[in-house]
Structure 1
C-alpha cells in the first residue's frame, strides 16, 4: 500500500490544474504593478550599486520601511530581488534591468505598461470586440496611442522602445534587400532615424529625407549625426500622410501600417502612390501574420494583433491581406523579403510594392 502523493506530485498537479492556471492569468496584473512600484519608487535604482538593508533603502526612497519590506519580498517572489538575510536585499541579473541606468533597461516599458490610457483601453475590450472599433476616450476622442503620444514622457518611451526594436533588425534589412538601387529614400514616420541611418550606412551613395513630427526630430538628428550620415539625410517636420515628399525613388514605412485599420492604411498608401513616379517603390517593414497560428505563435502574433486593435486601432496582416491592401491602394505586391531577427522577436519582412497602372480608388 502506498502513501499519499508526494510534495513534488502535489505541486505538479497544482501547476497543471486548469483552474489554477486560470487563477494565475487572472492575477496577471499584480506582477506588473509590483514591477512598476519598484521602478517608480526608485527601488531598482538604489539597489543597482549593491545590496542594502530595507530600512536604509526606505530612507533613500522616501517609503515606509515595513511596507517596503513587503514589496521587496514580493519582488523576490518574481525573481528580480534576492533576500540575503533578515535585513538585506539585492537585485538579480533580471532585476538590474529595472534600473533606468542599466543598458537594456526595461524601465520605460514597465512605465508604459501601467499607463492609465492603456488600462482604460484594455478595460473596454468587450466593447472593442463587440464593435470591431478601437476604444476612444469619451472626453477627447483619442485612442490610447494618440493620447500617449501627446504626453512627452510616454511619447519618448514609445519612440525609444520602437528604436530598440528597430536596432535589432536594421542592419539585417540592409543586408537582405538591395537598397543600393535607390538614389533617394523617403522615410515616413521615421522616428529616431535608427533604420534610415543603418540603410545610409550600408549604401554610401544614397540620400534620404525623413519626415516625422517636430518633437521627434531632435532625437532623429542626433541619431543621424552619431551614425555619420546627417549630411545625406534631410529631416522634414510633418504629420504622417498629410503631405508626402515628392521625387523619392523609394518610400519607406517602418511599422506604420500595422497601427492603422484598412481604411486609414489605404488612405496613407494612396497618398504615397500619388507622390510616386512609376519607377519608384513602396517599402513596408512589417511582421507577417501566419495564416494559421500555433499556440507558440499566439503570443508573438495573436496577442500583438489584439493589442494593435485595442491600443491604436491597427492590425497584423497576412501576406495575402497585405497584397489585397496594396492592390486597393494602387500597388502590386512584388516581393516579400524575410529579415533575420533576434531570438524571441516576431519575423520581419520588407514588403515591396510597385505602382500599378490602376492607382486605386480615391
Structure 2
C-alpha cells in the first residue's frame, strides 16, 4: 500500500492510465453515434435508447461515465456535448468518429488487446485476434473498407490539401497514387494543378469508391482508378509515383517490395514520392504510441528520412530532396540506373 498521499496519487495515475473502461466507452459512443443523436436533439436516456437500440441501464452507465471524463455534460434536458464531445460527431473535420467506430475501421484497435502476443513473439496482434490481416478484411468487406478510407481522408484532410497545393506536382505532368484509397489525395492534386493527370492504384473496393468520387468531382476525364497489387506491378511511365501513408503499414521487407515495384515502374526518368510525417524528436508520447500500435497491428512503423533512405537503396532508389510542408514531408526518390529485379 502507498505510504504517502503523493505515492497514492501516483498509484491512482497509473491505474487511470491502464484502465480500459474510458477508451472503450468513447469508442462505443462513437460506434452508436451518441454525439450525432444528442446534436439532433435526443438528449434524455429514453430518447437515446430508442435511437441507438441499446439497453437502458447500460447506456445510462455509459453516458454517466462520459460526463465524468468530460465528453458529455449534464443539461436540464438530459445530456449535452462538451467541446471534447463535439469531436465525436460524424461531421466533425477531425474524423474521430470514423476512427473510433468499432463496426468500421476502428475495430482494428481491438487488436491491441493482444499486445502480449506481439511482445512475446513479434507476431501481429491483429492477426492473432481476428485470424486474418487488416487488408484481407478490407478486401472482403466493402463497408469496412469504405469506413477505413473515410477515416483516412478525414484524418489527413487539411494536411492533404496543404501538400497538394504547396508542392509543384504539376511539373510531373502525370502521377500515380499507389494505394490511393478512395481518391481523396488525387482529387486534391488535380484541383490544385489543372494540367495534371493521374491514376489511382489500389484494391478493388477502393477502386470502386475512387471512381465514384472522381465522377462526383467532375474529374473522371483527367484521372482513372485501376486495380493492381503494389507488391507485383503498377502501371509504368508516370512522372511521379506517390506513396502516402502506405509504407508505415508494412514491415521492412514488404515496404522494400513496394518501393521496388514503384522503382521499376518509374525507371528511367520518373520519381517516387513518399508522403510521411515530418521527423519528430524522440520521446514524443503520440509518436511512441503510434509506433507501438503500428508494429502490434501490422508489423510496420513510421520511418525517419534516414531509415527510408536505407530501404530505398535496397529497392533501387536514391534519395532526392526532402520538402517539409506543415507537419508533413515529401521525400523524393529517384531510380538508380540499374534496377534490381528481385
Cα deviation, 1:176-195, whole Å, max 9, x if unaligned, reads: 32212212111111111111
**CA–CA separation in structure 2 for the residues paired with 1:223 and 1:354:** 31
Residue by residue, what CA displacement relative to the aligned partner does 1:177-216 show, whole Å, maximum 9, x if unpaired?
2212212111111111111112122222221111111211
Contact 2:277–2:328 at 8 Å: present in 1 too?
yes
C-alpha distance in 1, partners of 2:14/2:62? 24
For 2:276 and 2:189, the matched residues in 1 are separated by 16
Provide the rounded CA distance (Å) in 2 between the counterparts of 1:288 and 1:57: 42
Q: Which of 115, 121, 124 is matched with 2:114 structurally?
A: 124
Compute the displacement of 1:130 (Å).
Answer: 3.6
User: How many residue pairs were aligned?
Assistant: 337
Alignment pair present for 1:19 and 2:11: yes
- Cα 1:318–1:23 change in 2 (3 A) is same
Map 1:259-274 to 2 at 5 A. Answer: 259-274=249-264
C-alpha displacement at 1:306, in angstroms?
1.4
Are the structure 2 counterparts of residues 148 and 276 from structure 1 closer, same or farther at C-alpha, using a change threshold of 3 Å?
closer
CA 1:348–1:149 in structure 2 vs 1: closer, same or farther (change >3 Å)? farther
Deviation at 1:160, TM superposition (A): 0.8
Aligned pair partner of 1:34 in 25, 30, 40: 25
Output the CA distance in 1 between the equivalents of 2:168 and 2:268.
Answer: 19
Task: Show the 5 A alignment for 1:33-182.
Answer: 33-50=24-41, 52-85=43-76, 88-100=78-90, 104=94, 106-112=96-102, 118-119=109-110, 121-135=111-125, 137=127, 142-147=132-137, 150-182=140-172
What is the distance in 2 between the residues matched to 1:328 and 1:259?
18
How far, CA to CA, are the matches of 1:245 and 1:82 in structure 2?
53
The corresponding residue for 2:298 is 312
**Structural mapping, 1:117-266, within 5 Å:** 118-119=109-110, 121-135=111-125, 137=127, 142-147=132-137, 150-266=140-256
CA distance in 2, matches of 1:79, 1:157: 26
Distance 1:33 1:256 in 2: 27
Query: Could you tell me how far 1:51 is from its partner in structure 2?
Result: 5.8
Contact 1:43 1:57 in 2 (8 A): yes
Q: CA deviation at 1:331?
A: 0.7
Which structure 2 segments of 5+ residues have no match?
A: none
- Tell me how far apart the structure 2 counterparts of residues 138 and 57 of structure 1 sit (CA, whole Å): 35
SS of equivalent to 2:237: coil
Instruction: Report the 3-state secondary structure (helix = DSSP H, G, I; strand = E; otherwise coil) of the residue aligned with 1:124.
Output: helix
Q: 1:197 to 1:125 in 2, by over 3 A?
A: same
Which range is displaced more, 219-228 or 157-166? Answer: 219-228
Among candidates 262, 282, 288, match of residue 293 of structure 1:
282
Deviates more, 1:279-288 or 1:146-155: 146-155
Larger Rg: 1
Q: Structure 1: 5+ residue runs without aligned partners?
A: 1-9, 341-346
Sort the Cα spacing of 1:145 and 1:32 in 2 relative to 1 into closer, same or farther, 3 A: farther
Cα distance, 1:339 vs. partner?
A: 1.7
More off after superposition, 144-153 vs 173-182: 144-153
- The normalised TM-score by structure 2 is 0.87
Q: Deviations over 1:40-77 (max 9, x none)?
A: 44543432223633244434444444443333221211
Displacement of 1:79? 1.8
